[in-house]
């Protein structure tokens, strides 16, 4: 296939480009580098199956060839207000990527009669009242909170994708992505994995906000990309959760990082500085992915962190 991937220079987008190329497809990457990193794609520049278009998906998209699939991954994704790349500091761009970007990429899929895959998020569940979260759960979301620019953009994107599927007959798919980690994460995006790894590798105490009882479910990037690829090749139109169902508290995660990195500095507890509607628990129900895609994550947390550490050491200049 010839596949258009928006957000190609991002953490997930760049790994997705690699996966598609490895499977023998041609890839057209698209990014405007607001949060994407050109270095994530540098090693693909000489690949004859890869080409790149610098473009903002909020504007009309022209692709010079007929594509067979469109994968819309363009959006700021970090919730951290301390990060310049967080969506709370890029609120309008985030809303445009979710609304206008989804509309424009669906337009490409419609014009090319191509299959379409939307990168949605576990954030559409908000601060959930259901655990674990199934795809049938409608969510518990503040529509005007500071996180809403991301949550509601993705919820609108899902609604628009299904409207194009029902009204225009577009062959659509929706993946709801849960917390993912691995090489090429932005070190300065303010999320817990890069924060903890940087502090641990510098032998600094890990900063845990609140009592550390909030939970996340961490999925290694290779596992996630495999699930997304399987979804692309499937015939499933309804949303599918892709993530790791093993729930871990932030305190447990900090202890794991310190153990793996042999960080003697321990951790420091500080008052909760997260956004008011920050989800307290996050855990996917992946029954649908197991049943439809024959997929589940295979990388244990400790093994995934060990695979991630060399990238962080390289970025930090640590031998």
pLDDT at residue 86, rounded to an integer:
85
Average pLDDT over residues 239-243: 98
> Whole-angstrom Cα distance, residue 217 to residue 277?
18
Catalytically active residues are: 150
Question: 107, 197, 120, 204: which is closest to 157 by C-alpha?
Answer: 120
pLDDT digits (tens, 9 = 90+) for 96-111: 999 999 999 999 999 9
- Of 21-30, 90-99, 277-286, which gets the smallest average pLDDT? 277-286
Whether 245 has a pLDDT exceeding 80, the answer reads yes
Whether 274 has a pLDDT exceeding 60, the answer reads no
Q: What percent of the chain has pLDDT over 70?
A: 98
- Residue in the structure block whose two tokens are 């996180």: 147
Average pLDDT over residues 2-31: 98
Confidence of residue 200 (pLDDT cuts 50, 70, 90): very high
Confidence of residue 81 (pLDDT cuts 50, 70, 90): confident
Q: Walk me through the domains of the chain, giving residue ranges and CATH numbers.
A: 2-181+220-245+281-298 (3.40.50.720)
Alpha carbon 8 to chain centroid, angstroms: 12
Q: DSSP letters along 23-76, please?
A: TT-EEEEEE--SS--GGGTGGGTT-TTEEEEE--TTS----SS--SEEEE--S-
- Would you say 141 and 148 are in contact if contact means Cβ atoms under 8 Å apart? yes
Average pLDDT over residues 138-159: 95
Q: What percent of the chain has pLDDT over 90?
A: 87
Q: Which two tokens stand for residue 4?
A: 């258009």
The whole model's pTM is what?
0.96
- Would you say 138 and 93 are in contact if contact means Cβ atoms under 8 Å apart? no
Whether 13 has a pLDDT exceeding 70, the answer reads yes
**In terms of pLDDT, which residue wins out, 221 or 279?**
221
- Of 78-82, 85-89, 291-295, which gets the smallest average pLDDT? 78-82
């Amino acid at each position: 296939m010839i596949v258009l991937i928006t957000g190609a220079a991002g953490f997930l987008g760049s790994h997705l480009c690699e996966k598609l190329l490895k499977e023998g497809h041609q890839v057209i990457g698209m990014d405007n580098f607001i949060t994407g990193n050109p270095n994530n794609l540098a090693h693909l520049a000489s690949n004859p199956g890869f080409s790149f278009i610098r473009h903002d998906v909020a504007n009309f998209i022209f692709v010079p060839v007929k594509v067979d699939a469109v994968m819309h991954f363009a959006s700021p994704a970090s919730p951290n207000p301390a990060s310049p790349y967080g969506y709370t500091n890029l609120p309008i761009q985030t809303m445009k990527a979710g609304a206008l970007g989804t509309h424009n990429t669906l337009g490409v899929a419609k014009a090319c009669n191509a299959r379409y895959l939307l990168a949605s998020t576990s954030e559409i569940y908000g601060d959930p009242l259901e655990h674990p979260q199934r795809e049938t759960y409608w969510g518990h979301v503040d529509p005007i909170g500071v996180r809403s620019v991301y949550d509601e953009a993705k919820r609108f994107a899902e609604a628009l994708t299904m409207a194009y599927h029902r009204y225009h007959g577009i062959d659509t798919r929706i993946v709801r992505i849960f917390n993912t980690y691995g090489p090429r994460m932005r070190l300065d995006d303010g999320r817990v994995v890069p924060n903890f790894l940087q502090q641990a590798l510098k032998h600094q105490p890990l900063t845990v906000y609140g009592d550390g009882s909030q939970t996340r479910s961490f999925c290694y990037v290779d596992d996630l990309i495999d699930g997304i690829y399987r979804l692309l090749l499937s015939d499933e139109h309804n949303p599918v959760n892709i993530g790791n169902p093993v729930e871990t508290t932030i305190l447990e995660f900090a202890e794991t990082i310190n153990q793996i990195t042999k960080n003697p500095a321990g951790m420091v507890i500080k008052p909760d500085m997260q956004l008011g509607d920050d989800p307290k628990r996050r855990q996917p129900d992946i029954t649908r992915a197991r049943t439809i895609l024959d997929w589940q994550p295979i990388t244990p947390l400790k093994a995934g962190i060990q695979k991630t550490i060399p990238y962080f050491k390289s970025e930090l200049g640590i031998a």
